[in-house]
Amino acid sequence: MENAKIRIRGLYVRYSDGKEALRGVDLDILPHAVTVAFGPAGGGKSTLVKVINRLIDISDVAEIRGEVLLDGENVLIQDVNVVELRRRVGVVFSRPIPLPLTVFENVSYGLEVAGEKDKKVLADRVEKALRQAVLWDEVYDRLNNPAYSLSGGQQQRLCLARVLALEPEVILLDEPTSALDPVSTARIEEFLEKARRDYTILLVPHNQQQAARMADYAGFFLQGELIEYSRGEEMFLNPKEPRTRDYVAGRFG
């Protein structure tokens, strides 16, 4: 596909303990859409997320081969500015991990470390991000409270908001709702619905229903390989590969 935002070619990752997390993956992630990476545990989905924004750098990795091209530039080469990269490619983890700061400081952190000092700009961007993350109405009157005073669902939306504050191009979400109740999950999905045309989103869903609900495009990962990649409806209604069919039908996993 010509207009891919992220083009992955021959991506191979082996950890120091010998585990091959990804074994030669080719994948095009299109802009203005939600791409879902799903499959059973150990398929390499989380590793894929970590590679794209180079958080893999702090893992015990023995070998990485292949290319991850973001707008045509390989982010895996040594002299890529990872700080810059991580501002363009935000990530939301499976567990809400607020920083031990206030609600406001959590959202402004990324901007402040990027050098933004103007209080007015910070306040505006924080408000905008919190509104986008469907959280503003719940926290506008306690921005200076510790982030840990929020509920679990609110904390996860806070984690989303602090990514949005950086106005990223790509958002990676690694099972963002796995620790959340159904109502909070719905809030996150509500955001994804609204945001899918504005960002390039890679979602590792926490179950297949979510995968089917959210996917513009979907890739099925099994033991480090991309088995099948297609439009969302096609993947879940009419999968081509027998292994995908078995997994989608619930015969394993």
Question: Is 110 a residue that touches other proteins (CB under 8 A)?
Answer: yes
Question: Is 186 a residue that touches other proteins (CB under 8 A)?
Answer: no
β-pair type (200-204, 33-38)? parallel
State the DSSP code for 80. Answer: S
User: Could you give the angle at which helices 152-164 and 182-195 cross, rounded to 10 degrees?
Assistant: 20
- String marking each residue 25-64 x if it binds other proteins according to CB under 8 A: ----------------------------x-x--x------
Q: Which is nearer to other proteins, 97 or 123 (CB)?
A: 97
Alpha helices in the chain (DSSP H): 45-52, 82-88, 103-113, 119-132, 136-139, 152-164, 182-195, 208-214, 232-237, 242-248
Structure tokens that stand for 4 in this block: 């891919």
Is the Cβ–Cβ distance between 79 and 204 less than 8 Å?
A: no
Shortest Å distance, C-beta 49 to other proteins: 10
Question: Is 87 a residue that touches other proteins (CB under 8 A)?
Answer: yes
Question: Is 113 a residue that touches other proteins (CB under 8 A)?
Answer: yes
Cα-trace Rg, the chain: 18
Counting DSSP H helices and E strands in the chain, the numbers are 10, 10
- String marking each residue 127-146 x if it binds other proteins according to CB under 8 A: -------------------x
Stretch that binds other proteins, among 11-19, 20-28, 156-164, 178-186 (CB under 8 A): 156-164
**Rule CB under 8 A: which residues touch other proteins?**
53, 55, 58, 83-84, 86-87, 90-91, 93, 95, 97, 99-101, 109-110, 112-114, 146, 148-149, 159, 162-163, 166
